[in-house]
Amino acid sequence: MTGRLARTSSVLLSLLLPIISGCGTAGLDVHYPEARVNRTIMASAPPRRVEIAPVADRRMDTTRIGIRPKNEGDIVTSRPVADLVREALVLELSKNGHLVVSHERDAILAATVEDFRLDEVAGYASARYVARVVIALNIVDGRGGDILLTRRYVGIKRRDVDKPSDDARRETMDAALARTMHDLATDPELAKVLASVRTAATR
Amino acid sequence: MARSLPNRLVTGLALYLLWGMDRAIGLGVAMLFGWGCASSAPHPTPVARPFDDVHRVAIIVSGESTFAVAEDRVEPGRTFDEILKWHPYGGALRPVAKLVHRAINKVRDADQAATAARNVDGVSPGSTIARAMARTLEGSGEFNEIRILEREPSGEDRPRDDGALVRVTVPAWGVIRVREGDPDLVSGFADVQAQMVMGRTGVVVWDGSEDVTHPESAPLASFVRNRDFARETMIGLLERAGQRLANELLYARSAGR
């Protein structure tokens, strides 16, 4: 009887442990909030039909975005990083008056994720998060296939917290992604190139 | 041996300070209450309105900037915690241990901070940020006029109806630990704030605050021993801070439209 109770307890414990320790969580729900997307310099280009090529994830390690302190497991996002970046690009283009299409495009936007990482630095009474998002971008002529512009956008957010938490980790990553997208959306060169692409009407 | 001696000194100092502090609990608690009284409630963030009708911007730098080396080590604090576990007043002494930890590390960092600060002698964080911000705003083509003011505007210098004043402050800049390792890696950092007020009315239309960190990191020794590297990195960081402030200002310009 005692043996059976012990076995049952160990099974229950093994099921509960990952949940208690947080390892059973689905990952950080990093996202780029639509409500905070503004019309900005990118809107100075006339509306264009833009195709977003599949976002390439060229990070050295694509299985995680960081490691929890004391080897307590990987930090991962709930959705693939490439999808998060694509969503952010779609939101910025749409809000700025451009149409995201899959055919008859004026331009192709080809993005590569070079870094999407959260470093956690333990202090004595606090923890420091440093989130880093690096996106390389090519604007390609929709008809000819020439590369019209190559840019690299780097967003970094640093934050000190008294108590480490997944909410704080997510917010730090959100902020780094937002900074990257804000740099992109306010880049006058990008707007200039979008304005200069040949459209169906100008070909 | 050479490395263990300072550690032993620190641990010895820690033990001396902590075990001798039983009678200082009351004082420590009173000090903490005192600090609590001095702290102010957070300022409410003003609600921004679109300011795409602003076509002339004057930038002015104000306030003092402190160069700091923030390594934020875990020791000797962790050792204190180990000791306090067995101390009868361990819980009550913990806030005091935090203060002692901070004080010891401040003393430890002082020499390196002084040397690193000498390496960036003559670099004005506020002016460098203001120039980079002005260049970025000019490059956007969204404004008719961007000026950097040396002093508070008066008379003809005052912004017109379509003008605004951006006040930039850099409370802290320096190097900060960004990755654990052997050695730990540090990056240049600048904490910057900016507020845009309408020239005639003084209405705040934008309030920006940026923690800017250099994308590259290096051991602290590089900032202390290599003057050219330190200067180049920190100037690059300050220019990045100016661009970031400008980009956030541009991004917020037509918010809500």
Per domain, the residue ranges of chain B are 56-76+122-252
Chain A residues in contact with B177 (beta carbon < 8 A): 121, 128
- What confidence tens digit (pLDDT) does each residue in A102-120 have? 989 999 999 999 999 999 9
B74 interfacial to chain A (CB closer than 8 Å): yes
In chain B, DSSP assigns E strands to 56-61, 66-70, 145-149, 163-179, 185-198, 204-213
Distance CA B131, CA A5 (A): 72
Q: Please tell me the predicted confidence (pLDDT) of residue B49.
A: 67
B103 interfacial to chain A (CB closer than 8 Å): no
Radius of gyration of chain B (CA): 23
CB–CB of B251/A38 below 8 Å?
Answer: yes
Q: Please tell me the predicted confidence (pLDDT) of residue B103.
A: 79
- Per-block mean pLDDT, blocks of 10 residues, chain B (257 long): 48 52 44 43 53 92 89 73 77 79 75 84 95 97 93 79 92 93 92 92 92 95 93 97 97 80
Q: Please tell me the predicted confidence (pLDDT) of residue B133.
A: 98
Residue B205's contacts (CB-CB under 8 Å, 6 or more residues apart) are B48, B49, B51, B54, B164, B196, B197, B198
Q: Please tell me the predicted confidence (pLDDT) of residue A12.
A: 56
Q: Which residues of chain A have pLDDT under 70?
A: 1-25, 201-203
| Domain A27-196 class, CATH top level | alpha beta
Q: Please tell me the predicted confidence (pLDDT) of residue B145.
A: 94
Angle, vertex CA B229, rays to CA B225 and CA B232, nearest 5: 145
Would you call B254 and A130 a contact, using CB atoms and an 8 Å cutoff?
no
Distance of CA B32 to the CA centre of its chain: 23
B70 interfacial to chain A (CB closer than 8 Å): no
- What confidence tens digit (pLDDT) does each residue in A31-70 have? 999 888 999 999 999 999 999 999 999 999 999 999 988 7
Per domain, the residue ranges of chain A are 27-196
CATH topology of domain B56-76+122-252: Double Stranded RNA Binding Domain (3.30.160)
Would you call B73 and A183 a contact, using CB atoms and an 8 Å cutoff?
no
Would you call A38 and B212 a contact, using CB atoms and an 8 Å cutoff?
no
CB–CB of A166/A73 below 8 Å?
Answer: no
Distance of residue B125 Cα from the nearest chain A Cα, in angstroms: 19
* A interface test, pick of B146, B244, B250 with most A CB neighbours within 10 Å: B250
Chain A residues in contact with B139 (beta carbon < 8 A): 188
